[in-house]
Amino acid sequence: MKQLYDTTTSSKERELSQAVFAMYLNISPAMVRSLEQGKRQASGVLLKLLNIVDHQGIAILV
């Protein structure tokens, strides 16, 4: 699956802490950290959700 979403700037660009961003995505802060550091790549449902947030903003999850 092609990685469309740039996870290295996800929480920083949105001015959210990793913990808050993780809460919105229903994943652990450690997962957000691993994605941002490039240690892991998003796939499946998480990748789709990250792309939606990237295009429509975090408010779409509220």
19, 29 Cβ separation under 8 angstroms: yes
pLDDT for the residue numbered 12:
62
Task: Give the distance from CA 31 to its chain's centroid.
Answer: 9
Class assignment of domain 7-61?
mainly alpha
Task: Give the distance from CA 27 to its chain's centroid.
Answer: 9
What is the chain's pLDDT, residue by residue, as a tens digit (62 residues)?
445 566 655 566 667 888 999 999 999 999 999 998 889 999 999 999 999 988 888 888 88
pLDDT for the residue numbered 14:
66
pLDDT for the residue numbered 7:
60
